Chains A and B, each alone.
Chain A
Amino acid sequence: MGTTIRQAVAIAAMNVRSIPQRFWMSVSTVVAIALVVAVLLAFLAMGNGFRQAQSSAGAADIAILLRDGAQTEINSGVSREQALLVEEAPGIARQDGKPLVSAELYVVVDGTNRANGLKSNLPLRGMSLAGVALRHNIHLTQGRMFRSGTNEIVAGRGIVREFSGFDLGSTLRLGQSTWTVVGVFEDGGTVRESELWADVGVVQSATDRLNFFQTIRARLTSPDQMPALKAYVANDPRLKLLVQSEADYFAEQAKQSSDLIQKLGWPLAIIMAIGALAGALNTMYSSVAARGTEIATLRAIGFGGVPTFAGTLAEALVLAVVGGLVGIATAALIFHGYTASTLGANFTQVVFTFKVTPALCASALVLALVVGVIGGIFPAIRAARLPIVGMLGEQ
């Protein structure tokens, strides 16, 4: 056993050292594997970034109440009476004696995408200052918060980055009214940074939706209070609302689109991997052919078939790992931190950042290794079975 391993290591070292003799063939295999890995990782990073933007937005101690069956904020509708009833519910957190409950209006307005100059759907959330207070982790990076009863808007950092016309101090027209951007906020890169916020009453009148709300958000004293709130809502026939934690709500929203992205990424990468595999097999078969005499010589002086097999496989794995690492490095350099936006479940743009994580890198590396193993195993079998006689005589 020990000698087999020693032999395999010796042959592997010899093979790897001989890679420069097939430099360009080996480079093409490494690059092909790297490209496959980079494409896979780009899609995974996109899906992951999109999911994280949404899932990390959700807090477990914030309840979101939608009209039953609405699925999304944009489709929902609730009344002021319902909002007042929720303020009376058990477990609601308070600040300065006031319940942290916010009835909100979610309307879609046009913004101009900086990249292509085309109109895009952006969410304008009408809310109260309690709505700002109940959300965690909101920080103004520029300017100040909107004031109640004014045509003032604060814009999420993601919006400012991806869409023109929302920089601090800009003015914009919505219908008959003119608005001023008085602040920019950040929320750790979550989907909230893809929103515009303004006073709910002013948004209602600007969009001709007086007394119309779409969602109610409420901060609970603790996540444990969620069942109590659900029971309270269930027991009141006036509240035909679906209660869920923001965490659950965003996780569900995120799932659908990011699933789609990842479901596209894997098949694409696997199909491309088959192409790279063809290249790897080619390289490894030529490696075995080029080393025919060498292999036969080693076999003649007593090296076994198994070490010959293992040594050849090792060469393929080295190429695959190098390719995988190059691909990961490429994807990380190009795509990590790249921001983009797409339509989310609420029919508005979600700005998100591509995130290349170690877990994603690991699965991409697995794909590279699979290419390496399959691309090495058949040539390795051929190497182990090469006839000793004949190979020595020729050349």
Chain B
Amino acid sequence: MNHALLVAKNLGRRKLRTSLMLVAILIAFFLFGCLECFNHAFYASENSAAADRLVSVNKINFTMPLPVSYVERIRQMPGVTHATSQSWFGGYYQDPREPLFMFATDPQGYLDVYPSIQMAPAQKQVWLSDRTALATGRVTAEKYHWKVGDHIPISSNIYSRSNGSHSWDFTVAAIYSAPDDPARESLVLMHQDYFDETVTFGRDQVNMVMFTTSSSKLNDSIAKAIDAAFANSPAETTTDTAAAFNRAFTAQLGNIALIISLVVATAFAAILLIVGNTMVMAVRERTREIGVLKTLGFTGRTICYQILAESLLLAVTGALLGLGAATLVLATTSKMLQGFVSGMQMVPSVFAAGLGWALVLGLVTGAVPAWSGLRLRIATALGRR
């Protein structure tokens, strides 16, 4: 026997109560794990954006067009290494309520600007050379069961063709992955040339020019130079880093991070009360035993440590169960949520933060009973019956 066993035995004396507390802690840490990992994935586009990648959009708003000629003009600016563009196509496959994340782009430029895209060389060859070809991210291909070589009809809820139809026929030329940038795996990419050739309006216009610079130190000066170059033209630009652009965009949905923090804080507040009170009660029940331990020569400090160890063990066990459950649930649901948020999975930093909070929870819930254990007077504890 040793002190650890004593701690474990104390926790085990009321199995139902301990289990109930474990459930409460598990729930809180399960929520923490799931929500914080969602948070992480949701804001991943801000964090994963390469520091040397910038975007130029119409100064009025990024949904307003820029002339396609801007791509080439930006590509020629000093310090710019690669440039490409995208135009929202408003595409959908079969169900108009399920929009595709589909853009028209300049394929070679796109691959240059987004080196995280991994595409089989043979597929890349086809995609670059065939203007009716599509490259699609792994996630979307899996969702619609598209295979390389499939011919698929895609409709636009914005554009129409000169023949009056809203439907385009494409060949799936490439299915790519982008492990470092999971959000990109949901995109569908068509040729800007094919877009310009077939639409009845909006041709030779893009929504956004994305480009890389030779050094992120030059970002500010290059951004200023670009915006100055297009100032006082019919389409003025505003240029920012991709990270800043993404941050502003995700912020438009609302302060998701704040909502998550509030929910997690609420869950923690609830278990803090439940577990804290139960610990107080559990230790109060043992008042007499603690008195006996003290007569045996156990110091107040030893008793105090034992109680803290008990609450820590409880908190950490509950947290491990909760974070473990979150890991499992995230692994099984990440597919379902693809398209909404990509790359949902247990993140080591979240797991570690969870364990950190578990220590805090254990110390806080153990503090009051540990203090009373420390202070407990033997004569009072043993009392007369």
Contacts and interface: CB of A to CB of B under 8 A. Distances in A.
Interface of A: 24-25, 27-29, 31-32, 35-36, 38-39, 69-72, 74-75, 77, 107-110, 113, 115-116, 118-121, 174-176, 207-208, 268, 271-272, 274-276, 278-279, 281-282, 285-286, 340-343, 347, 349
Contacts, number: 141
Given A77-B201, A208-B234, A282-B17, A110 B61 contact: yes
A197 to B, nearest CB: 16
B79 interface: no
B335 interface: no
Contacts of A29: 274
Contacts of B21: 278, 282
Nearest to A208: B234
Interface stretch (B26-34, B170-178, B296-304): B26-34
B60 A107 contact: yes
Interface of B: 16-17, 20-21, 23-24, 27-28, 30-31, 59-64, 90, 96-97, 155, 157-158, 166, 201, 232, 234-236, 247-248, 251-255, 263, 266-267, 269-271, 273-274, 276-278, 280-281
A70 B158 contact: yes
A272 B24 CA distance: 9
Nearest to A279: B274
Contact of B232 (A31, A176, A271, A340): A176
A116 B247 CA distance: 11
A341 B251 CA distance: 10
B247 A25 contact: no
Contacts of B255: 115-116
Contact of A27 (B27, B90, B248, B273): B273
**Mostly helix, strand, loop or mixed at chain B's interface?**
helix
Nearest to B19: A278
A338 B60 CA distance: 29
Given A28-B276, A175-B236, A274-B23, A110 B60 contact: yes
Contact of A24 (B63, B234, B266, B280): B280
A281 B24 CA distance: 11
Given A118-B251, A272-B31, A285-B16, A32 B274 contact: yes
B382 to A, nearest CB: 17
A109 B60 CA distance: 5
Contacts of A109: 60-61
Contact of B266 (A120, A272, A279): A272
A285 B166 contact: no
A169 B235 CA distance: 26
Contacts of B20: 278-279, 281-282, 285
Nearest to A260: B340
Nearest to A112: B248
B277 A28 contact: yes
Contacts of A116: 251, 255
Given A175-B59, A176-B234, A207-B60, A120 B273 contact: no
Contacts of A24: 277, 280
Given A35-B267, A72-B157, A278-B27, 14 more contacts: A70-B157, A71-B96, A75-B90, A108-B60, A108-B64, A109-B61, A116-B255, A175-B60, A175-B235, A275-B28, A278-B21, A279-B20, A279-B270, A343-B253
